Structure 1
Amino acid sequence: MAKRLYWSLLIPILLFGACSKPEMPQFVGIGNFNIESLGGNQSVVSADVTYYNQNKFDLKLRKADLDIYLADKYVGKTVLDTLIEIPKLDTFNVPVKITVDVKSLVSNAISALLFNQVKIKIQGTAKVGRSGFMMNLPVLYEGNQKLNF
């Protein structure tokens, strides 16, 4: 009886201990900017956002809802609703389309062209997981980004 109780307690502890909480992949950079459409008030810009998965296991990115700021000014939002396979201990690209406010984009474009870099802030949430277990993780990156046009 004591042996059965021992195993019934030990097995769940081992299973939960082996399933460590995934860490959010680290932001590496942004590239391949492309203007998809120009509008009077809003435009759509596409880019590839590169991340590094420091986890020792593959992950899946199911959804992301992110706000984008350039030079501390809100410029737009991106919503990703596509499943992306993330390899362990490797870099990967996430293609994004950002709906931007044209006024903010123009004011930041002059600074970006002059200095070839801009302060960028990405803030929101991402649904990440493995083995069918998904969780919402906060996304927050802030730093200067060199722009490659």
Structure 2
Amino acid sequence: MRFMLLALLCCVFFACKKPQGFEYRDVQNFSIDSLGFDRSTISMNLVYFNPNNFGVDLKHVDCDVYINHNFLGKYTLDTTMHIAKRSEFSLPSKVQVDMRNVYRNSLNVLFSNEVQVDVTGNTRVGKAGFFVNVPFKYSGKHQLSLF
């Protein structure tokens, strides 16, 4: 009986694979919810792809957003959602923006047609009640057309 239990535990242990990080795809429905001198709020849907061959549950997202290597704001998502295997999904996102950092770099952004966007953080993903932290990092240049 102990041998059967040990064999079953070994099978479960070796069958479990740590989830891969999600791949960034696109930003959709970008809007400014509130505009202020100290803080502003922006909303968007972030589109990602789940490269795993199994569905996962996303429990928590915590990341820092940088524009041209300057801190823009922090994004946190505290909801649980199921993500199907090898599929695209959209995360509704709201970011509180520290406007002092935006003002500091506004001339740079106005005279440039593209900005460097960097996002670093952690997600908590899992399956069947077992969750692990998966770090992620995104860096890319995006076209910015103000006029």
Does TM-score exceed 0.5, indicating one fold? yes
* Gapped regions of structure 2 (runs ≥ 5): none
What is residue 92 of structure 1 aligned with on the other side? 89
Pairing 1:46–2:35 present: no
Pairing 1:72–2:69 present: yes
Aligned residue for 1:22, secondary structure, equals: coil
What is residue 83 of structure 1 aligned with on the other side? 80
* Alpha-carbon distance in structure 2 between the residues aligned to 1:139 and 1:77: 14
Calculate percent identity across the aligned residue pairs.
Answer: 31
Match of 1:17 among 14, 17, 41: 14
Q: Deviations over 1:75-118 (max 9, x none)?
A: 10111111122111011111110000123335358627851x32
Cα distance, 1:147–1:134 mapped onto 2, change above 3 Å: farther
Shift of 1:125: 1.3
Cα distance, 1:87–1:109 mapped onto 2, change above 3 Å: farther
TM-score (norm. length: structure 2) = 0.86
Please, what is the CA RMSD of the aligned residues? Answer: 2.2
Aligned length: 145
What is residue 115 of structure 2 aligned with on the other side? 118
Pairing 1:33–2:27 present: no
TM-score (norm. length: structure 1) = 0.85
* Gapped regions of structure 1 (runs ≥ 5): none
